[in-house]
Amino acid sequence: MKIYTIRHGYTNMNKKHLYNGQIDEDINEEGIKGAEEAREQLKDMKFDIIYCSPMIRAKHTCEIINVNDIPVIFDNRLKERTLGILDGKSLKEEGLTKKEFYDYFYKTNIENFEELPTLFERVHSLIDEIKQKKYDKVLIVAHGGVLSAIHYYFNEIPKDGDLSSFKQANCEVLEYEIK
């Protein structure tokens, strides 16, 4: 089985370097264009199913790329991480480094956000479920934090917990294989 992932199209908050988290923002014109370009890359692939975050930026991206009317399952496990104090803000505003907040796997002391182990657990439960199906090709449309969890499902988490070496760009498609 092959699992393909795509991050939602660009949003206004992405443009301003603000974290969306649970803010349910739609993609902008640049995001629509990126999704249309991704559609060209994906249109001849024969996906069995698409799993998609129910958040509007992922749903809109999915609508654009799904030209072959592939069945879509919206799954809450693919929602972006709750970022608490960072929802709608930048790291700079809160005086945090990226590693302190976003790219450090192990427990931090920042309040009101979903710890990465919790995010990874919910996303990994979905991948474990998908593995039990008889699909050949699956497409997942989701968010940066969720896609990081998928990446580290297939790749070892660094011993120091620093996850900053991985980032999936908006509308970038990556491929993973389950053997």
Which of 76, 94, 74 lies closest to 22, judged by CA?
A: 76
| Active-site option among 8, 60, 143, 151 | 8
Q: Residue 8 catalytic?
A: yes
Write the burial class of residue 35 (CB in 10 Å: 0-12 exposed, 13-18 middle, 19+ buried).
buried
- Give the dihedral sign, CA 99/100/101/106: positive
| Active-site option among 60, 80, 143, 151 | 80
- The helix (H) or strand (E) run that includes residue 175 is strand 173-177
Q: Residue 156 catalytic?
A: no
3-state helix, strand, coil in the chain (%, to 5): 40, 15, 45
Distance CA 72, CA 135 (A): 14
Active site (catalytic) residues: 8, 80
